[in-house]
Amino acid sequence: MKLFNWRRLTGRLSVDPIGVRIKASIFAYWPCRVFRMATIAIAAAQVVFAQDAAPADRNEVNSTARPGSMSNDSPVRFPDKGGLPTKYPPDLKVKHAQVEEGYSMFPSPCRSVMQIDRIQGEMPRGRFTPPPSAWENLSRVQRILTEGGELHIMAVGDSIVNDTMRSGWVGRLADAYPKASIRATVYVRGGGGCQHFKENGRVAANILPRKPDLILISGISQKDVTSVAEVIHQIRAGLPEVEFLLMTGAFGTVDPRSPEALAASLRYTGSGPYGKALKQLAGDERCAYLDMTSPWAEYIRSTGLHPHFFYRDVVHANEWGEQILAKILMAFWTAGVSQEKR
């Protein structure tokens, strides 16, 4: 399919000290599709606050110097440093703690359900195949969700995990399972994977004392599944009842419009070598598994828009992209559970 040449019509989105400007050359007559795309671009440009990954991304495969093939036909011009501003900064105030240099910890959700509804109401509509349920390795979590009790979720990873948790999906989960009291803690390092968290007593110092019931391990910065297994073993040694959800990365510099590129990626995609190894590890270690890449890519493709409409820089999602992740996670957590059981 030939891609629409957005540059030719409107120029590229760019950022100046005042905010986002769109330089446009408007034809006298606009076909409906052009008008739709222009409307989305203008809506995306009505922004006033900067979005930043916290902490800064230090993953060598995710630099602006290696932006990936998506930039070749992108209608969006990202700033040289930082990300595009956001229309919706998180409306729930949370305290970020630096547990050590480069490592950040904060509670989630960071957005109210009202704000999530507003963002999802404005974002381009898309569709994806709901992921299968994985309750067989989440039986304790399922019992708390459906019967009641306290559920502490801890997400561990990189700036992509930061974006995932900033979406506010935990608030949606609490609405879906009102019998449970749900809270979440996010423990991230820019460019961080289990190869970092397994070292220097970080599990013992920063994870075990917080006594999570569920650990989410995700991101696009995992060096190998051996390190993921080591973190699982360290946590289980101190918290034998804890359950795990191992998730692939969703977005990065690999073009989600290309199934071939996703399958060839070595680092984080569900259809690539890493995703297959992570799924095998989940089975071996009795963990739940979730491929985030495939539904993310399916949603993006279904909109007919360039992926960068869902990014704030060449690597990270904007609030629209974050809400795609929230939709995927909620589809996962509600799969196979009727309203009567909640």
Q: Which residues, other chains included, contact 104 with Cβ-Cβ below 8 Å and sequence gap of 6+?
A: 54, 55, 96, 97, 98, 162, 186, 187, 188, 189
Give me the pLDDT at residue 67, please: 52
30 pLDDT more than 90: no
More confident position, 25 or 224: 224
Average pLDDT for 185-189:
97
| 139-156: pLDDT as tens digits | 999 999 999 999 999 999
| 67-105: pLDDT as tens digits | 567 889 999 999 988 899 999 999 999 988 889 999 999
| 252-305: pLDDT as tens digits | 889 999 999 999 887 788 888 999 999 999 999 999 999 999 999 999 999 999
**For the chain, what are the domain ranges?**
6-341
| 148-179: pLDDT as tens digits | 999 999 999 999 999 999 999 999 999 999 99
Which CATH topology does 6-341 take? Rossmann fold (3.40.50)
The DSSP bridge pattern shows strands 149-157 and 97-100 to be unpaired
Give me the pLDDT at residue 25, please: 28
pTM: 0.82
3-state SS string for 69-132:
HHHHHCCECCCCCCCCEECCCCCCCCCCEEEECCEEEEEECCCCHHHHHHHHHHCCCCCCCCCC
In percent, the amount of the chain with pLDDT more than 70 equals: 80
Give me the pLDDT at residue 55, please: 52
Token readout for 242 is 């804890």
